[in-house]
Structure formats: structure tokens, C-alpha cells
């Protein structure tokens, strides 16, 4: 531990009193842990006895199984209680290392003496009825710590707004049960403390930020008023951490309505999912479900079509096919599919489809007869709200019900099926791919590749959305809060699909500057149109992740002017130029070797998967290095090499970017790749050129 952590920032008397308080809290925690261990031991023994009784007596239970059910329920209740105790034990053991990080003294309006609240990652009371010695950071009163300086303050409690005055605000660093430093602060989370925390080396997983949550971040985390919360945050503003802490906050404050199984995170890939996997357990919650949108696509298109992956398309664009006309046509197609106008055209096509989808004919079966106009009236008027490809089934059910009412005789399943089949045969086609191809042809596009082989990625979600419009879907009622990260990488069609599939509150976060496209566009108009007045837009324009030198360097790459960089200083980014690939790789290996003893995480970020494979082969004999691919299931610490797009949302102590030449990095998409790569670095950034350097880089090495 650095010596600066051991210097008290307050008087020796205050420091001694705080140490005495810490000793008392740790003693209470020891007692609580011992009691909880004894309780859990007794509980486990009781569960064993109950299970033994159940199996010894199961054959003697009453024939209606009431006793069997009652015994099972009692066993399940005891198991649930034991699990809750285990969770509490895990929390108490964590609190033993660092019980709290903050304190506020709050004098309630009308009172003369302030109340003292110590704030940590979880609640701790020595007894059930006792006032907590530590308040959970998510408790209403803890909001004072993040939102106010000394002086007038208020917080929202179940009973309403509580007003008063903060008379004292303290910040602590406690590790291993030892008070390393303390600081009385009249301002928000002290910049000195934030600098110390941000200067630490990156762990193998994303860390909790409860001790350094900033005011603007806290307002997003604790927002319970807005149904759709959209956060545009610059690189390094803490978007992902905010989203996960928001999930923990919502779970803590909505126990009756919300559990972990009711929350879904749409994440970029499995590496990212693994990278964030420890945050919620750190905050006292179990992990929630995560999946990529492409996993959802696989389920939706099972048995209908296979498709190119998102990253395969990106690799296609980055590797630049030799035929410029082919590439230009593909880029134009992608721009078309990603436009709001394309979504409008697709929806208009579905509205106009009944006129050409159905060949109305008379229905005749046994004594049932309906002429074509009667069927048209039912299809286009009476059941106009039923999805198109389910509408004839609704017409069949209606006709059968009419006949049963008239005759007083029920139709059997075979007869009902025949009537429904005859009506469904009036559809000219029910094949989703064929209908999508017809739509493209009607729009003046070539569609010969839609009916065979893998779908291009840009056609995947329009096809799923068309399927959804034609067959309908019930919104997933089990999901009561949806978190979408990297919002800039979703198209209008994807958002329209999300809106139909999830009718729940959402937290949507991203950075338009990090879009993986050669034509960056604002997603806000799309979200405003789809979600309407229920969407609230917030902006985070202060970057905390990287040193000032790295963040400002990255910002200059894209001409960024609306971001404030946190004043944590470090080395200037290194730019090295070398005559050939081998000498460049040797120089990079040397710099990495020099860093390896200090840095916990070092990333080599490449333009493409092929480039990453080549770098791994050139380094694996000299360095202990791992290769991450689109198929990787987990995040690797130490030294890793990967294509830049897999690093989105991740951060590393040091980032190395090889091959930043004019030939490799010259398009708008390349600029985005370079910006994303640079913004992954916390403390050190190194770029290498094995030829003429990219024009995106400064004229002279920094």
C-alpha cells in the first residue's frame, strides 16, 4: 500500500475516535458472524433431520398428498432461510475488510442534534431491532452522501421528502479492517480520493464504484420516476457501472415487485458479460440474466434462416473486398437498413399487405358456406387488429363458433382443422422470407439472395421485425426492467422490435461517438419516436477512466469538444515508427515486458481478427499472452490480444495498438476503431506504425 494512504487528513483526536469506532464495529461484526455461523450450522442440521423424516414417512402420508406437500413446503422454507443467511454471512465477511466508506451527520428539520450515518456496501445491525451501525449505500438517507455538500439537504423517504442540514461529511479508506486515511469534505466525493481510486490498476473484472459515485451518476442510479431512461455518456463516464449499480438500487428498493429474474441485460458479447459478472454479487445481489441481441435473433429465426454474425459483417467491412463496386453496394445496403425511412417503409408494407396477400374465395365445407366477400369483411374489418398471418385462424374460429351456435352441435377437431386449412390456403404465401423478398423487390431492390443461404446481417432484424408484425408476439411479462448497453450500435428496426417485445421500464446507455459505423448518426430521434414522451434523455460529458493525456489525445482523433476530462495526469501517449513489421513487434514486446510487473491488465487491440491472430503468433513465444475471439466465453486478465470491437466496454491498465499506418487506418470506420481502442486505456497508451503512419495521428510523436 502506498504510504500516502497512511497519512490522516484530520486531527489526531478525530483520527483516534474514528479508529475506536471502527474497532467497535469490527467487534460487533465478529460477534454477528459467530452467531450467524452457529445459526446456519443448526439450520443445516435441522434441514437434514426434516429431509430424513420426509423420506422415512413419505409412504405414510395421506392419499391426497396434503402432508407430502406441507412437508416439502417446510423443507423449502428452511432451505430458503439458510440461503438468506449465507448471503448475509457473505456480506458480513466483506464488511469485515471494509465496513464503510463514508459518513454524514444530518440534523433533521426541527431538531437540534444531528444523527450520524455510516455508509457502506450493505446494512449491518447488531440486532434485529437495533439502529444500523452501517447503512446500505442504496438506502434513502445514503443519497445525501452523494448529492449534497455540507449545508441544507433533503432526501426522498417512503414517508415523503425529509429536509434538514448536513453538519459533517467524512470519507474513509478502510482495507483489511484498518483505517488507512480519512478526510472531512465540504464538497462532493473528494477529487483527491477519486484520483487515488482511479489511479489503481484495473482488476480482471469491473469494480464497484459505490465509494466514488459522482452526483450526476447518482441521479441516474436512483431515478425511479422515468420509465425509459436514455443516457448518452462519453467514453469513461462510467455508463456500465452506473447501469449495474442502478440495477442493484432498483432490486434493493423494489423487493416486492422486482427480483433478479425480472431483469435482463442486453450486452455486446460474452466477454463483456463475464467482465461485469462480479459487480452485482459485490453489491449484495445475485447476477441477472444477460444475453446479446444476436442470441435473441437465433431463437427468432430458428428453422427460418441462418445468418451472418454482427462481427463477421464488421470484419467484411474492415478487410475491404477488392471489388469497389461490391463494397459500395454493401455499404449502401447497410445505410439503407439502418435508416428510419427503411423502418417506415417496412411498416407501411405490412399495412398495405392484405390487398395482395390473400386470394379471397368462397368457403364451402359440408353445410358451411361463406362467399368471398363475407370472408373479406371478416378478414379486413372484424379481425383487422389480429396479426395478418394469424387472422385466417381467427376467421375460422369465428365461422365455426357461428355454426355451432346455429346447429347446437360441436365441431370435432378434424372438421375444425379442415375449415381452418381451407381458409389459410387463401394466403398467397405464409413464408416470411418470401414476404420479405417481395417487400425488397417492391422497394426497387435486388432480393435474389434472401431466399437462399445465410442472410446478410443487415437483413436479420428487418426479417425478425416483419415476422413479429405478421405473427404477433406477447411482450415478455417476466422481464420487468431491461438494460441496453452500447445503444448506438442498434438500428431503428432493432429498437422497434425491442419496443414490441419488452413493454417494461428500460435503462438505455451508450456513446454515439463510439458507434461502429462509417456514418455516425444520432439515435435520439429514433428513440424519441419509438418510446415517445416516456423517454427521458440525460447526458454524461465528464470522462473519468483515462488520464487527462490519454483522454484528450483520443478526443482529438475525432474532434471531440464537448467532453470534460478529469484532471488525473500521467504519461503522454507513445507513438513509435518502425521500418517493418518485425521491428515494430519487437519494440512492442519490449514495452509490454517493461510494464508487465506493474500492470494487471494489458491489451493489444487490433483492427481485425486476422490482425489479432498474427500478433498473437508473433508474441506468444515471448510473452504469456491470450487471444480473445468472438467465440471467447470469458474475459482474460494479464496480457491479451483481440480485435478492437471485442474491447468495447472494457478497460485496461495499458493499451497497445500495432499497425497504425496510413494504409490500415484511413476510412471513417478506421477512425472509429482507433478512437474506441485508445479510450480503453487507463494509465498508458502506446501506438506503433510499421510504415507511413495514419493521418489520424499527430505529425510528431508525443
Beta-sheet strands, E only, within 541-675? 542-543, 564-565, 574-577, 601-606, 625-627, 638-643, 652-657
Look at 127 and 400; give whichever has higher pLDDT.
400
The residue-averaged pLDDT of 1-17 equals 62
Distance CA 647, CA 635 (A): 10
Contact indicator for 673, 665 with CB cutoff of 8 Å: yes
- What are the beta bridge partners of residue 507? 229, 483
- What are the beta bridge partners of residue 687? 575, 657
The residue-averaged pLDDT of 681-685 equals 95
Nearest to 480 by CA among 508, 503, 507: 503
Average pLDDT, the chain: 89
Distance CA 440, CA 462 (A): 11
The residue-averaged pLDDT of 465-493 equals 93
Mean pLDDT is lowest, of 66-80, 233-247, 635-649, for 66-80
Nearest to 641 by CA among 679, 599, 609: 609
Nearest to 490 by CA among 464, 518, 523: 523
Coil/strand/helix, residue 165: strand
Look at 60 and 470; give whichever has higher pLDDT.
470
The residue-averaged pLDDT of 428-454 equals 91
Length of the chain equals: 702
pLDDT in the model for residue 29:
96
pLDDT in the model for residue 215:
87
Confidence check: pLDDT of 576 > 80? yes
Torsion angle of C-alpha atoms 41, 47, 50, 54, degrees rounded to 10 = -150
pLDDT in the model for residue 530:
95
Q: Quick one: CA dihedral 57, 62, 64, 70, positive or negative? A: negative
pLDDT in the model for residue 2:
39
Confidence check: pLDDT of 290 > 80? yes
DSSP result, 385-450: TS-HHHHHHHHHHHHHHHHHHHHS-PPPHHHHHHHHHHHHTTBS---HHHHHHHHHHHTT---TTT
Contact indicator for 362, 371 with CB cutoff of 8 Å: yes
Look at 65 and 695; give whichever has higher pLDDT.
695
Residue 398, C-beta contacts closer than 8 angstroms, at least 6 positions apart: 378, 382, 383
**Segments in 276-369 forming alpha helices (H):** 279-282, 293-300, 310-319, 324-337, 340-352, 354-357
Nearest to 180 by CA among 167, 163, 196: 196
**Enclosing H/E stretch for 258:** none
Tens of pLDDT, residue by residue over 650-674, are: 999 999 999 999 999 999 999 999 9
Report CA-CA distances (Å) from 277 to 156, 281, 421: 30, 8, 50
Amino acid at each position: 500500500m502506498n504510504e500516502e494512504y497512511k497519512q490522516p487528513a484530520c486531527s489526531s483526536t478525530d483520527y483516534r475516535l474514528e479508529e475506536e469506532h471502527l474497532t467497535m464495529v469490527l467487534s460487533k461484526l465478529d460477534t454477528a458472524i459467530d452467531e450467524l455461523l452457529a445459526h446456519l450450522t443448526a439450520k443445516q442440521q435441522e434441514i437434514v433431520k426434516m429431509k430424513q423424516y420426509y423420506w422415512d414417512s413419505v409412504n405414510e402420508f395421506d392419499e391426497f398428498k396434503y402432508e407430502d406437500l406441507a412437508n416439502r413446503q417446510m423443507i423449502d422454507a428452511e432451505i430458503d432461510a439458510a440461503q438468506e443467511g449465507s448471503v448475509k454471512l457473505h456480506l458480513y465477511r466483506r464488511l469485515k475488510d471494509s465496513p464503510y466508506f463514508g459518513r454524514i451527520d444530518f440534523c433533521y428539520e426541527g431538531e437540534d442534534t444531528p444523527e450520524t450515518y455510516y455508509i457502506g456496501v450493505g446494512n449491518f445491525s447488531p440486532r434485529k431491532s437495533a439502529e444500523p451501525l452501517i447503512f446500505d449505500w442504496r438506502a434513502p438517507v445514503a443519497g445525501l452522501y452523494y448529492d449534497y455538500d455540507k449545508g441544507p439537504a433533503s432526501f426522498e423517504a417512503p414517508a415523503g421528502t425529509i429536509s434538514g442540514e448536513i453538519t459533517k461529511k467524512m470519507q474513509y479508506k478502510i482495507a483489511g479492517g484498518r483505517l488507512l486515511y480519512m478526510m472531512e469534505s465540504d464538497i462532493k466525493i473528494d477529487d483527491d480520493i477519486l484520483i487515488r481510486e482511479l489511479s489503481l490498476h484495473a482488476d480482471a473484472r469491473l469494480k464497484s464504484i459505490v465509494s466514488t459515485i459522482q452526483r450526476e451518476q447518482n441521479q441516474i442510479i436512483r431515478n425511479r420516476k422515468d420509465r425509459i431512461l436514455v443516457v448518452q455518456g462519453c467514453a469513461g463516464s462510467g455508463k456500465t457501472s452506473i447501469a449495474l449499480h442502478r440495477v442493484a438500487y432498483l432490486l434493493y428498493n423494489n423487493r416486492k415487485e422486482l427480483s433478479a429474474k425480472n431483469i435482463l441485460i442486453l450486452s455486446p458479447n460474452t466477454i463483456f458479460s463475464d467482465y461485469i459478472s462480479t459487480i452485482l454479487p459485490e453489491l449484495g445481489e445475485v447476477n441477472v440474466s444477460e444475453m446479446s441481441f444476436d442470441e435473441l435473433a437465433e431463437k427468432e429465426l430458428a428453422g427460418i434462416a441462418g445468418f451472418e454474425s454482427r462481427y463477421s459483417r464488421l470484419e467484411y467491412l474492415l478487410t475491404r473486398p477488392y471489388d469497389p463496386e461490391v463494397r459500395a453496394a454493401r455499404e449502401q445496403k447497410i445505410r439503407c437498413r439502418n435508416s428510419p425511412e427503411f423502418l417506415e417503409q417496412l411498416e407501411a408494407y405490412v399495412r398495405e399487405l392484405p390487398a395482395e396477400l390473400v386470394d379471397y374465395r368462397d368457403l364451402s365445407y359440408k353445410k358451411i358456406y361463406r362467399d368471398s366477400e363475407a370472408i373479406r369483411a371478416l378478414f379486413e374489418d372484424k379481425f383487422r387488429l389480429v396479426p395478418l398471418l394469424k387472422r385466417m385462424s381467427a376467421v375460422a374460429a369465428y365461422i365455426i363458433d357461428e355454426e355451432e351456435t346455429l346447429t347446437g352441435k360441436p365441431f370435432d377437431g378434424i372438421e375444425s382443422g379442415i375449415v381452418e386449412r381451407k381458409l389459410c390456403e387463401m394466403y398467397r404465401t405464409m413464408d416470411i422470407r418470401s414476404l420479405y423478398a417481395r417487400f425488397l423487390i417492391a422497394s426497387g431492390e435486388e432480393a435474389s439472395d434472401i431466399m437462399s443461404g445465410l442472410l446478410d446481417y443487415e437483413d436479420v432484424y428487418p426479417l425478425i421485425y416483419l415476422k413479429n408484425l405478421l405473427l404477433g408476439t406477447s411482450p415478455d411479462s417476466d422481464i420487468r426492467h431491461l438494460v441496453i448497453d452500447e445503444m448506438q450500435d442498434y438500428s431503428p428496426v432493432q429498437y422497434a422490435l425491442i419496443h414490441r417485445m419488452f413493454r417494461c421500464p428500460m435503462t438505455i446507455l451508450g456513446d454515439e461517438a463510439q458507434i461502429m459505423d462509417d456514418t455516425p448518426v444520432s439515435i435520439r430521434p429514433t428513440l424519441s419516436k419509438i418510446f415517445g414522451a416516456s423517454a427521458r434523455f440525460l447526458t454524461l460529458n465528464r470522462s473519468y477512466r483515462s488520464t487527462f493525456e490519454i483522454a484528450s489525445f483520443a478526443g482529438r482523433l475525432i474532434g471531440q469538444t464537448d467532453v470534460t476530462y478529469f484532471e488525473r495526469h500521467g504519461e503522454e501517449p507513445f507513438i513509435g515508427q518502425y521500418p517493418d513489421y518485425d521491428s515494430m513487434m519487437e519494440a512492442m514486446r519490449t514495452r509490454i515486458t517493461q510494464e508487465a510487473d506493474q500492470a494487471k491488465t494489458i491489451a493489444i487491440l487490433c483492427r481485425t481478427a486476422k490482425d489479432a491472430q498474427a500478433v498473437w503468433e508473433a508474441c506468444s513465444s515471448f510473452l504469456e499472452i491470450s487471444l480473445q475471439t468472438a467465440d471467447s466465453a470469458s474475459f482474460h486478465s494479464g496480457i491479451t490480444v483481440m480485435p478492437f470491437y471485442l474491447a468495447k466496454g472494457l478497460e485496461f491498465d495499458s493499451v497497445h495498438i500495432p499497425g497504425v499506418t496510413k494504409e490500415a487506418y484511413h476510412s471513417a470506420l478506421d477512425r472509429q476503431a482507433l478512437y474506441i481502442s485508445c479510450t480503453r486505456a487507463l494509465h498508458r497508451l502506446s501506438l506503433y506504425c510499421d510504415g507511413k503512419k495514419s493521418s489520424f495521428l499527430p505529425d510528431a510523436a508525443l
